[in-house]
């Protein structure tokens, strides 16, 4: 059984074709090094990451992540349809979060998302570096909130997208955020 598992693992990672251990060491130290420094979007696309547990995500670039559908949308829209507008406390909590943390929330749903992403990304390490999270822009039924203008060029450069591309993505998607490697520990 263990030989079968080892053979399957080697075939998944493409290690069957390498005949000598020196070739294997060279392949991991040379070819794979750039991939280890940055967070691979493959884990997010395949829903293998804790960050993609309850969101449907698209990764247009290596660090840029787009939430295609907010999991809270249906519940909030149903609440608005049956009862009416959300209570003012939802807006107040978002304003407090914008004032104390980052100015990119529209309502309490955004606060939940951003707090979850912030805490879970801090637990992920890639090659000894903690992964950092930054929200670029949110556009949903409650309005639109973007990072301040002085942060925007830095965030767009890390996300490897332009302002035009950001606006195009936000036409049909509620949220754009980035994950990037932090300092080495």
The predicted pLDDT at position 136 comes to 92
- Token pair for residue 79? 């609440």
Return d(Cα 39, Cα 42) in angstroms, integer.
Answer: 9
Measured in residues, the chain has a length of 185
pTM greater than 0.85: no
Higher pLDDT, residue 4 or 34: 4
pLDDT, tens digit (0-9, with 9 covering 90-100), for 95-123: 999 899 888 888 888 888 888 888 888 88
Domain ranges, ordered by start, for the chain: 40-184
In this structure, of 35-44, 67-76, 144-153, the range with the lowest mean pLDDT score is 35-44
The H or E element that residue 136 is part of is strand 129-140
Distance CA 90, CA 107 (A): 6
CA angle 38, 39, 42 (to 5 degrees): 130
Q: Which long-range contacts (CB under 8 A, 24 or more apart) does 56-60 make?
A: 58/173, 60/161, 60/165, 60/169
Output DSSP code: residue 142: T
Residue 166 three-state SS: helix
Q: Given this model, what pLDDT does residue 40 score?
A: 57
CA atoms of 58 and 176, how far apart (whole Å): 10
Instruction: Provide the 3-class DSSP secondary structure of residue 121.
Output: helix
β-pairing, 175-184 with 129-140?
A: antiparallel
Q: What's the pLDDT at 162?
A: 92
């Amino acid at each position: 059984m263990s030989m079968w598992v080892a053979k399957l693992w080697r075939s998944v990672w493409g290690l069957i074709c390498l005949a000598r251990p020196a070739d294997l060491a060279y392949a991991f130290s040379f070819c794979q090094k750039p991939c280890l420094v940055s967070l691979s979007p493959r884990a997010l696309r395949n829903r293998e990451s804790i960050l993609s547990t309850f969101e449907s995500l698209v990764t247009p670039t290596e660090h840029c992540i787009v939430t295609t559908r907010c999991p809270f949308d249906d519940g909030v829209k149903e609440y608005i349809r049956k009862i009416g507008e959300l209570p003012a406390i939802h807006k107040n909590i978002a304003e407090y979060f914008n004032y104390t943390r980052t100015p990119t929330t529209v309502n309490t749903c955004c606060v939940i998302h951003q707090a979850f992403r912030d805490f879970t990304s801090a637990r992920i390490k890639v090659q000894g570096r903690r992964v950092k999270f930054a929200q670029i822009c949110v556009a949903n039924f409650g309005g639109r909130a973007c990072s301040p203008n002085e942060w925007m060029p830095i965030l767009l450069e890390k996300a490897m997208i332009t302002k035009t591309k950001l606006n195009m993505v936000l036409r049909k998607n509620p949220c754009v955020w980035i994950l990037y490697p932090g300092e080495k520990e």
